[in-house]
Amino acid sequence: MTIFKNTLLAIIGMLALVNVGFAQSPLIQNVYNREALSLNGDWNYIVDPYENGYYDYRRIPFDKYFNPANPGSGAYFANVKPAHKTDRVEYDFDLADKIKVPGSWSVEKEPLHWYEGTVWYQKDFIFEPTAGEKSILHFGAVNYEAEVYVNGIKVGTHVGGFTPFNFDVTEQLKAGDNFVVVKVDNTRKKDAVPTINTDWWNHGGITREVKLIQVPEVFVADYSIQLSKTQNNLIEGSVQLSEKAAGQSVHIAIPELKINKELTTNAEGKAEFAIKAKKITKWHVDKPYLYDVNLSAGQDVVSDRIGFRTIEVQGSDILLNGEKLYLRGICMHEENPIEGRRNYSLEDARMMFQWSKDLNANFVRLAHYPHNENMPRLADELGILLWEEIPVYWTIDWTNEETLANAKGQLTEMVQRDRNRASVIIWSMANETPVSEERNQFLKALVETTRSLDNSRLISAAMEVHGEEDGTKMISDPFGEYVDIMSFNQYHGWYGGDIEDFPNLKWAVKYNKPVVVSEWGAGAKYGYRADDQTIWSEDYQAYFYQKTLEGINNIPNLAGFTPWILADFRSPRRPLANIQDMWNRKGLISEGGFKKQAFFVLKDYYDQKEAKGNL
C-alpha cells in the first residue's frame, strides 16, 4: 500500500512541478545597488547527517514524488506543522536552534566544528508583492552544495562554495507570510572543485549575504564597461537585459564625462557600445579614480562606480596604463583570523586591506577561491590591485566532464561578478596542479572560457618549480604557453633545501613573459622567540624572509611576488600541538591580529622598493 501511495504521489508531484526549472537563473550584476529585503540574521537549523529530511526510508528523494497539496511529514523543505494532536511530524524548525547568516557552523557551533554533511537552514519572512515586479532570491555564497526551496517548492540548486547565485522566485512567493529552506551540504568530494584535499578550513553554511531583490519585469541583468585596450579615449562594453528581444531601449550616462547615450538591443537583448570621451582620468594605485555610471532600461535604473584603466603585458613587463608595474604583493585567505571565521562584511575587508596597506603592498592575491564582493569593490576605492582565483587546487579530476563544467561554472560566476572592477587585473585558473596532458587540456578550456567572458585582463595560474638542470631551477610548466604571466610557488628553505643557499640559486624561465612568484614563506608561532635557526620561531621566519629577499631578484623577468600569507588561518592539515593547533602559521599576522617580526622585514623591503621607483 505504501509503495502504491508513493507512486501515485510521485505522478501527482511531477505534474505539479511541470515547468519549474531547477537550474539557477542568470546571475544579476551589482546586487549591492538594488532594492532588496535582507534575509541576513537568525535562521533556524537542523543537522541531518543521514539526510532523513531529503530521502525516504527507501533512499528515494522526497523531491521525486513531493506534492505541495499533500506534503506528507518527512520532507524538511516542506516545513510542515502538525494540524492535530495525532499528527506525527519528527522535525520542527520553530523549535530548532538558531544560527547566524552569513556565518559558518564550523565556528559558531562548537559541536559542528568538524562536521561535514547536510544542515537544513530555514527562515520565515513577510513579503508584500508589487505588481509588475519580479523577485530574485540572491545568495552571495553557500558552501558547498545548496538546494533552495521557497514555501515548500524547489526553486533551484547550486554547486560551488565561493560564488554568487540567484533564482527567480516571483511565482513561489505570496502576500504575507513566506519561508525559505536551504539544504546545505559541505561534504568534500573527489570529483568536486576543490577536491577532497585542501589546506584551508571547510567552513559549512550560508557563508555570505542573502537578499530578496526586487526588479521590474524587464531589467538590466548584466553589463561590462571598460576602457578600450587600444584607444585611450574610448569606453566600450555591453548591457544585457533580462528580456531577450531586439529593439529595446537602454540608456547609459557617465555625467562627469558628459556621456549620455541611448542604445538599442539586438535579438539577444544585448546592447553593445563604443563611446568616445575627453580627458578620462585613469584609475591607478596612486589615484584610484572612480566614475559614477548610470544604466537604465524602462523602469529599471542601476548605478555603479567604475574605474577606467588598461592592463597588459609587453615582453617581460606588466603595464598599467602603459607604465611598467611592479607588484608588491601578499596572499590572503578569506578568513578573519581574530574571529576564525570566513570574511563576509565590509568591516572585515577594511581590516584585511588595512593590514596590506600597513605592509606597503599594492597587490593582493585572493587565494584560493573567489572572495566576497566587498573585497574587489573596496579595493577599487583603495587602489589595491587584485589577483582572483577559482579553487582548481592540487589534484582535480582532470578527465571528468562534470568537474570541468563545475570549474567553468565557478569561473563564469567570478568573472561576471567582478569584470567591472578596475582593481582586478589577473584571473587565475589554478594552484599547484601536477603536470599532465589531461590537466593541460582542462586548464586550456578554462582559459578559453575566461577570454570569451573578459579579454581585458591578464590570465595566470600558480604553477610550481619543475626540477633542476645543471644546478638551475626550471620554471617550465607547459601551461605557461597559454597564460599572460608565468607565476609559480616555491618554498626553498621550508619544504626542502637550505634557506642559506637561496641568494645563490640560479633560475631559468622557459617563456619570455612577466614572472610573479605567487607563494613563498615559512611558519612561525607569534611570540615564540629564539635564534634565527630555530624553526617555528619568529626569528627564523624573519631570517627566512631576509634570505629570500636577498636572492629573489635573481629570478628572470621578475615583476613582483606575493608571499604566503598575510595572516594565520585555520587548517585541518596543521595539527602540531602548541605550535600550529590547526592553524597554518605562515601568516605575517597572528590569529590575535599581532604582527610578527617577518612583517617588518617585508615592509622594509617594500618601502625601499617604492623609494627606488620599484627598480
Per-position DSSP letters for 309-375, written without gaps between them: --EEEETTEEEETTEEE-EEEEEE-SEETTTTEE--SHHHHHHHHHHHHHTT-SEEEE-SS---THH
- Residues 227, 201: one domain? no
* Spatial distance between the Cα atoms of 164 and 32, rounded to a whole number of angstroms: 12
Give pLDDT < 70 ranges for the chain: 1-24, 615
* Spatial distance between the Cα atoms of 192 and 181, rounded to a whole number of angstroms: 24
* Spatial distance between the Cα atoms of 391 and 606, rounded to a whole number of angstroms: 29
In a domain, 314, yes or no: no
In a domain, 581, yes or no: yes
- Residues 507, 591: one domain? yes
- Residues 271, 403: one domain? no
- Residues 242, 286: one domain? yes
In a domain, 426, yes or no: yes
- Residues 305, 358: one domain? no
Final residue before a domain boundary, out of 287, 309, 331: 309
Residue 590 Rama label (left phi>0; alpha psi -120 to 50; beta): beta
- Residues 209, 130: one domain? yes
- Residues 238, 366: one domain? no
Determine the 3-state secondary structure of 33 from DSSP.
helix
- 401-418 vs 437-453: helix axis angle to the nearest 10? 30
Report pTM. 0.94
Task: Provide the β-strand partners of residue 464.
Answer: 489
> Quick check: 327 and 318 in contact, CB under 8 A?
yes
- Residues 258, 243: one domain? yes
- Residues 342, 463: one domain? yes
Query: For the chain, how many structural domains are there in total?
Result: 3
- Residues 127, 248: one domain? no
* β strands within 485-601, DSSP E: 486-489, 506-509, 515-519, 558-561, 569-570, 583-584
* Spatial distance between the Cα atoms of 486 and 309, rounded to a whole number of angstroms: 22
Q: Which three cell numbers stand for residue 114?
A: 568538524
> Quick check: 143 and 204 in contact, CB under 8 A?
yes
CATH number at residue 224: 2.60.40.10
Burial class, 290, CB count within 10 angstroms (exposed 0-12 / middle 13-18 / buried 19+): middle
Q: Which three cell numbers stand for residue 388?
A: 582572483
In a domain, 382, yes or no: yes
> Quick check: 310 and 322 in contact, CB under 8 A?
yes
CATH number at residue 524: 3.20.20.80
In a domain, 119, yes or no: yes
Final residue before a domain boundary, out of 309, 336, 358: 309
* Spatial distance between the Cα atoms of 260 and 271, rounded to a whole number of angstroms: 15
Alpha carbon separation from 371 to 309, 343, 348, 418 (Å, rounded): 22, 8, 12, 11
Place of cell 582532470: 398
Please choose, from the candidates 74, 52, 55, the residue with its C-alpha nearest in 3D space to the C-alpha of residue 64.
55
Determine the 3-state secondary structure of 41 from DSSP.
strand
Identify the pLDDT of residue 71: 87
Place of cell 630555530: 534
In a domain, 79, yes or no: yes
- Residues 205, 174: one domain? yes
* Spatial distance between the Cα atoms of 138 and 606, rounded to a whole number of angstroms: 40
> Quick check: 24 and 165 in contact, CB under 8 A?
yes
> Quick check: 549 and 531 in contact, CB under 8 A?
no
CATH number at residue 78: 2.60.120.260
Identify the pLDDT of residue 23: 55
> Helices marked H in 75-204 — which ranges?
105-108
In a domain, 315, yes or no: no
Give the Cβ contact number of residue 595 at 10 Å.
18
Final residue before a domain boundary, out of 160, 184, 216: 216
Burial class, 114, CB count within 10 angstroms (exposed 0-12 / middle 13-18 / buried 19+): exposed
* β strands within 476-576, DSSP E: 486-489, 506-509, 515-519, 558-561, 569-570
In a domain, 158, yes or no: yes
* Spatial distance between the Cα atoms of 572 and 570, rounded to a whole number of angstroms: 7
Alpha carbon separation from 292 to 254, 259, 374, 424 (Å, rounded): 6, 11, 18, 18
Domain assignment of residue 505, given as a range? 322-611
- Residues 301, 356: one domain? no
